[in-house]
């Protein structure tokens, strides 16, 4: 069985802790690989390699950093297909979807190629006689990233390309369920000329995460994952003096007003609820249907959902793949049966679905629940599977109240032809990313990604300008080149003149 090791100091490093975790192919249900689980000592080895590499990388020229990043961009582009195959084999998502996440991750490498523009700083001349002030941003040192299973390549690429472009060195702890894509990204970074130790990977579980959170030489931690772990990472990391950005889970609502184009709304609901089997933090899991939109909209969603092709991610005919684990599949199914018991109408029941020839895969079909209410578990919890709930309300005001009562605030969308209503929604909704007739409003790389409330702990969104700020710290330099007439004793507080 193939073993995925760590990547430390520019090369693969076998695990020495003796602990391994299983890596499954979700379509077959078979364990095809194992991944080394790092001990605190192995995390320390990675941090030491990163600390050593920082001595040169931290002071390397912008030209050197960007020349590596431009080569890296080309190498990822050339290996898109291979990276996507690794994603599909461990995560289960269909190949086209995996290619999509590689493309969105590559956007951040492209942003990082332009880092000189972002690090230009500010200069004020002659703030006082012969005195200039420069504001510069400098790297932090060794920074770390901890990533979830649902985007094995994209979420790591949200972090390390920008971090290293800013002059930091990096220790990544990918999800233990999907370790191969990140490993490939590290190999390609080395091929692009990234010096040894600038990017390191430690695989593992809570032991590795806690070692990162407690390590005195790690200055900052970026985390993406579920809300309870995000809270834990933020609390523990900041208590240990680190800068932390921790992106959590979500329960994204899509508001459909009576004047919306219902065909567009139905297409969008299908794509956003069932794409990647609902395992996206920006997935739509609740449609809020205003007035009399619910019946025709549900009819259109059902008509489309019944035609979806569910199967192995490496079959080009498949539109949706399996879920990540059997345990997760059973948990998702329990929300569908639970909703029925709590009074929801099950319009489509995806539980019990299987694929011929792949009977041991982690399959579930798509589910559509109507007349869901805020008290039901299917509404309250992040299901993270292909289950779409419809909540019926009478007015826009009821809809916005419902949505803003949600503890999460990641993405949201409004479907309407009314510009005034859309504008009002943009200003009133409590969420970090808003779509107007766009169901999955993931910002492009040169903006920043982040939610509100329980969807993000910390002050910075990820990538874009917020990412640059997160991975650098400010310094202000006040300079005077003295004239012979300067000098003299003055014990007063320095004033500008």
Pick 72 or 158: Cβ nearer ligand NAD: 158
Candidates 122-130, 189-197, 243-251, 334-342: pick the segment binding ligand NAD (CB under 6 A): 243-251
Q: Which residue is nearest to ligand NAD (CB)?
A: 225
Torsion of CA 186, 192, 196, 199, to 10 degrees: -40
Handedness of CA 263, 269, 272, 277 (dihedral sign): negative
Pick 254 or 289: Cβ nearer ligand NAD: 254
For position 382 contacting ligand NAD by CB under 6 A, the verdict is yes
Torsion of CA 80, 84, 87, 93, to 10 degrees: 150
Longest dimension (CA), the chain: 90
Binding positions for ligand NAD, 277-296, rule CB under 6 A: 281
For position 247 contacting ligand NAD by CB under 6 A, the verdict is yes
Q: Exactly one of 49, 182, 277, 281 is catalytic; which is it?
A: 281
Least Å from the CB of residue 320 to ligand NAD: 17
Least Å from the CB of residue 449 to ligand NAD: 6
Position among 27, 153, 224, 265 found at the interface with ligand NAD (CB under 6 A): 224
113 is known as an active-site residue: no
Binding positions for ligand NAD, 395-424, rule CB under 6 A: 410
Least Å from the CB of residue 24 to ligand NAD: 14
For position 249 contacting ligand NAD by CB under 6 A, the verdict is yes
CB atoms < 10 A from the CB of 289, how many? 27
Binding positions for ligand NAD, 430-489, rule CB under 6 A: 451, 455
Pick 119 or 221: Cβ nearer ligand NAD: 221
Pick 248 or 441: Cβ nearer ligand NAD: 248
Q: How many residues form the binding site for ligand NAD (CB under 6 A)? A: 27
Binding positions for ligand NAD, 66-95, rule CB under 6 A: none
For position 152 contacting ligand NAD by CB under 6 A, the verdict is no
- What is the per-residue binding string for ligand NAD in 165-184, x denoting contact by CB under 6 A? --------x-xx--------
Pick 184 or 328: Cβ nearer ligand NAD: 328
Pick 268 or 410: Cβ nearer ligand NAD: 410
For position 351 contacting ligand NAD by CB under 6 A, the verdict is no
For position 149 contacting ligand NAD by CB under 6 A, the verdict is yes
Pick 79 or 173: Cβ nearer ligand NAD: 173
Least Å from the CB of residue 228 to ligand NAD: 7
Position among 44, 187, 196, 205 found at the interface with ligand NAD (CB under 6 A): 205
Are 271 and 247 contacting, i.e. CB atoms less than 8 angstroms apart? no
For position 250 contacting ligand NAD by CB under 6 A, the verdict is yes
In the sheet where 252-256 sits, what is the strand order?
345-348, 367-370, 387-393, 284-290, 252-256, 411-415, 433-436
Are 256 and 290 contacting, i.e. CB atoms less than 8 angstroms apart? yes
Residues assigned a catalytic role: 281
Give the interface with ligand NAD as residue ranges (CB under 6 A). 146-151, 155, 173, 175-176, 205-206, 209, 224-226, 229, 247-250, 281, 382, 384, 410, 451, 455
């Amino acid at each position: 069985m193939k073993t995925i090791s760590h990547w430390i100091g520019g090369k693969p490093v076998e695990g020495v802790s003796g602990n391994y975790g299983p890596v499954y192919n979700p379509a077959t249900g078979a364990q095809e690989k194992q991944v080394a689980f790092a001990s605190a000592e192995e995390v320390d080895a990675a941090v030491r390699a990163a600390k050593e590499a920082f001595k040169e990388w931290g002071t390397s020229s912008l030209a050197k950093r960007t020349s590596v990043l431009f080569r890296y961009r080309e190498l990822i582009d050339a290996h898109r297909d291979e990276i996507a195959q690794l994603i599909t084999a461990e995560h289960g998502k269909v190949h086209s979807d995996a290619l999509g996440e590689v493309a969105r991750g590559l956007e951040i490498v492209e942003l990082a190629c332009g880092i000189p523009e972002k690090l230009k700083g500010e200069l004020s001349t002659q703030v006082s006689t012969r005195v200039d002030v420069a504001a510069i941003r400098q790297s932090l040192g060794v920074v770390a990233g901890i990533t979830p299973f649902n985007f094995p390549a994209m979420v790591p690429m949200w972090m390390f390309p920008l971090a290293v472009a800013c002059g930091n060195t990096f220790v990544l702890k990918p999800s233990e369920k999907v370790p191969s894509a990140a490993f490939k990204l590290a190999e390609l970074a080395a091929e692009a000329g990234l010096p040894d130790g600038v990017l390191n990977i430690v695989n593992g579980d809570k032991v590795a995460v806690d070692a990162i959170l407690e390590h005195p030489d790690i200055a900052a931690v970026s985390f993406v994952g579920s809300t309870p772990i995000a809270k834990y990472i933020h609390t523990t990391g900041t208590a240990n003096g680190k800068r932390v950005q921790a992106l959590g889970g979500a329960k994204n609502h899509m508001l459909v007003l009576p004047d919306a184009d219902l065909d567009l709304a139905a297409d969008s609901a299908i794509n956003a609820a069932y794409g990647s089997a609902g395992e996206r933090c920006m997935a739509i899991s609740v449609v809020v249907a205003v007035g009399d939109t619910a019946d025709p909209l549900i009819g259109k969603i059902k008509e489309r959902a019944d035609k979806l092709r569910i199967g192995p991610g490496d079959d080009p005919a498949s539109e949706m793949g399996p879920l990540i684990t059997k345990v997760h599949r059973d948990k998702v199914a329990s929300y569908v049966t639970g909703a029925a018991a709590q009074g929801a109408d099950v319009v489509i029941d995806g539980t019990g679905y299987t694929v011929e020839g792949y009977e041991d895969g982690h399959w579930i079909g798509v589910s559509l629940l109507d007349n869901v209410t805020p008290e039901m578990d299917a509404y309250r919890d992040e299901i993270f599977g292909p289950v779409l709930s419809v909540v019926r309300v009478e007015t826009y005001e009821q809809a916005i109240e419902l949505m803003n009562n949600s503890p999460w605030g990641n993405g949201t969308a409004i479907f309407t032809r009314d510009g005034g209503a859309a504008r009002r929604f943009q200003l009133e909704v409590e969420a970090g990313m808003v779509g107007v007739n766009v169901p999955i409003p993931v910002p492009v790389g040169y903006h920043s990604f982040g939610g509100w409330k329980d969807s993000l702990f910390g002050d910075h969104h990820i990538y874009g300008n917020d990412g640059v700020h997160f991975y650098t710290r400010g310094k202000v330099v006040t300079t005077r080149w003295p004239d012979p007439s300067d000098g003299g004793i003055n014990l007063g507080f320095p004033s500008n003149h």
